[in-house]
Amino acid sequence: MKRLVRTLAGALALMAIHALSPTGASPAAAQPAPSGDSFQGILTTVWGDPHRNSGAAGAIAFSLVYPDGTRVPLDIGPGLQNEAIRLTGKRVTVRGGASGAPGSQRIGATGLDVSGIEPQAEAIGERKVLFILLKFKGDPQTSHPVKYFTKLTNPLKPSKGVPATINGFFDKASYGKLKWSGKIAGGKWYTLPKARTDYADCGASSACFASHLNELGDDALALVRNDVDVNDFDNINFVFNNDLDCCAWGGGYSNGARFWGATWEPPWGQEASTYVHEMGHSLGLPHSGWRYFAYDSGHDEMSAGSRAATIQCGSYDSVNFGGPNTPIFCNEPGGGYIMAHQDHLGWIPAARKAVVSAKGTKTFSIEANALPLGGKLKLVVVCLAGEPCASSQSNGRFLTIEVKTRTAKFDGGVPSEGVVIHNVQMDRAPVSGACYFNDQSGWAMPYDAVPGDWNASSCSGEGLVNLAYAPGKTFNDAALGVKVEVLSRKGDVYKVRVTKSK
């Protein structure tokens, strides 16, 4: 089976006890002894996404960070994983049992106390992101000039050598509601106090840096302490001059006092398509897809995504993926985001969304996702009988209907055009099977307009390449009581008829 660029890897064991916070301030009050089977701290989640040639599997991992900065890995079963993702960055109470000696303790979580916890904030307004450029001790190379990262982040339109920008993508996907303001710490590359092998030593097929991400983060914050106040920022992008292990990493980082969205990027991941995936994780988004195999949707950058354009934008002496002069490729993301995620982040105006909650038949005109907001709908939500009908509810279950076409930037590489339908289940258990190399699925699973062209025995076929419903196609799920008929297309607007019988 084809290994995708962004596949999750490794088991994560977040650790390290630090007496001082990385910013140089005095630590928060020490964590009091747990009361019975309850443990309190900031919950963090990290995904590792392997290089396409790594051969690595995948994992999602959680940790609890006490106020004194102590990190303890959390073992969270399938039934709690999506709830934990929704609580990332929050101070929570974890119920469960601890095992292991001090310094190597783990907590087996049996429940999460969510009482009094505010829902995840919408991702709107300006968010400040700090890039910290890091060289491993003894490795003087740099993957890009300092100014490259500003060019990659802040403009809406790309310049020479950068086929797409982070802000360009998020401006389009959020319809102008989210903007990143990027700054380079110190305007320079810093040298870490340790060589790469002193942090961890492994090749491309392992995720050995998983247990050292926080150590890298702590060392980085100590290096920039005199040059920038990291507390002025919402996110931190840790940038490295060589490979870590199999993976690029994204999610969150905490020193116990506060939480930042965070990414840890090797040279091959320092480009727009990887950043919109990893920074999506930092906003709390999981993956999507998993209809036939892991990361099987080219219609979402939080799955495999697609590439609308690719150029070589540099090279480096890669320790894991090719040796001297290994090329670095920069991409224009071509799969966009999906409405289930965009709506969850607060980007879809109420006037551009229709909710079908009662029995009956209605006809809607839906314009393409990547087009600017106009007078047509962007999203139709179909509620399911007896189920909560919102992503803000931990057990929400509903269908989303949207349109994907190649006309507009950042959806320009989608494998097929038409109406795209997702089954959203906010508490969906991880999906696995013979054709899946990991089970790190998310809330939204796409339906396939041509389900008969995938062979589950040989794990081969078209899969979700042609998932979009073209005019004349009908989606019908009698068990759910939902039928969607695609009536026509005029330009980038599709007319659909939705019948709800339950």
Q: Which pLDDT score is estimated for 115? A: 77
Q: Which pLDDT score is estimated for 24? A: 35
Residues 358 and 320 in one domain: no
Q: Does residue 285 lie within any of the structural domains?
A: yes
Beta strands in 278-396 (DSSP E): 307-318, 323-333, 353-356, 360-367, 379-383
- When pLDDT is averaged across residues 429-452 and rounded to a whole number, the result is 93
β-pairing verdict for 493-500 and 360-367:
antiparallel
Domain endpoint, select from 277, 307, 333: 333
pLDDT band at 54 (very low <50, low <70, confident <90, very high): confident
Q: Which pLDDT score is estimated for 64? A: 95
Domain endpoint, select from 333, 368, 386: 333
SS3 (DSSP) at 342: helix
Domain range for 155 is 125-333
Q: Does residue 71 lie within any of the structural domains?
A: no
Domain endpoint, select from 333, 363, 391: 333
Mean pLDDT lowest among 21-25, 159-163, 375-379, 426-430: 21-25
Residues 149 and 180 in one domain: yes
Q: Give alpha helix (H) positions in 142-259.
A: 146-153, 166-173, 196-199, 213-224
Residue 418 has pLDDT above 60, yes or no: yes
One-letter amino acid for residue 86 of the chain: R
Q: Which pLDDT score is estimated for 36? A: 62
Residues 310 and 399 in one domain: no
Q: Which pLDDT score is estimated for 58? A: 64
Mean pLDDT lowest among 64-68, 118-122, 279-283, 327-331: 118-122
> If we measure between CA atoms, which residue out of 234, 190, 241, 244 comes closest to residue 212?
244
Q: Does residue 75 lie within any of the structural domains?
A: no
β-pairing verdict for 91-99 and 38-50:
antiparallel
Q: Which pLDDT score is estimated for 10? A: 33
Q: Which pLDDT score is estimated for 9? A: 31
Query: pLDDT tens digits for 216-260?
Result: 999 999 999 999 999 999 999 999 999 999 999 999 999 999 999
Q: Which pLDDT score is estimated for 52? A: 87
Q: Does residue 20 lie within any of the structural domains?
A: no
Residues 244 and 355 in one domain: no
The number of distinct structural domains making up the chain is 2
Residue 192 has pLDDT above 90, yes or no: yes
Q: Does residue 63 lie within any of the structural domains?
A: no
Q: Does residue 93 lie within any of the structural domains?
A: no
Residues 285 and 402 in one domain: no
Average pLDDT, the chain: 91
Residues 309 and 386 in one domain: no
Q: Which pLDDT score is estimated for 8? A: 30
Q: Which pLDDT score is estimated for 14? A: 32
Query: pLDDT tens digits for 445-486?
Result: 999 999 999 999 999 999 999 999 999 999 999 999 999 999
Residues 305 and 372 in one domain: no
Q: What percent of the chain has pLDDT over 70?
A: 93
Q: Does residue 228 lie within any of the structural domains?
A: yes
Residue 5 has pLDDT above 90, yes or no: no
pTM summary value? 0.92
Q: Which pLDDT score is estimated for 15? A: 30
Q: Which pLDDT score is estimated for 30? A: 40
pLDDT band at 97 (very low <50, low <70, confident <90, very high): very high
Q: Rounded to whole angstroms, what are the CA distances from 35 to 93, 111, 446?
A: 10, 15, 43
Q: Does residue 45 lie within any of the structural domains?
A: no
Residues 466 and 399 in one domain: yes
pLDDT band at 116 (very low <50, low <70, confident <90, very high): confident
Residues 141 and 271 in one domain: yes
Distance, in Å, from the CA atom of 213 to the CA atom of 202, rounded to the nearest integer, reads: 14
One-letter amino acid for residue 425 of the chain: Q
Residue 2 has pLDDT above 50, yes or no: no
Residues 320 and 387 in one domain: no
Mean pLDDT lowest among 22-36, 171-185, 274-288, 290-304: 22-36
Q: Which pLDDT score is estimated for 17? A: 30
SS3 (DSSP) at 90: coil
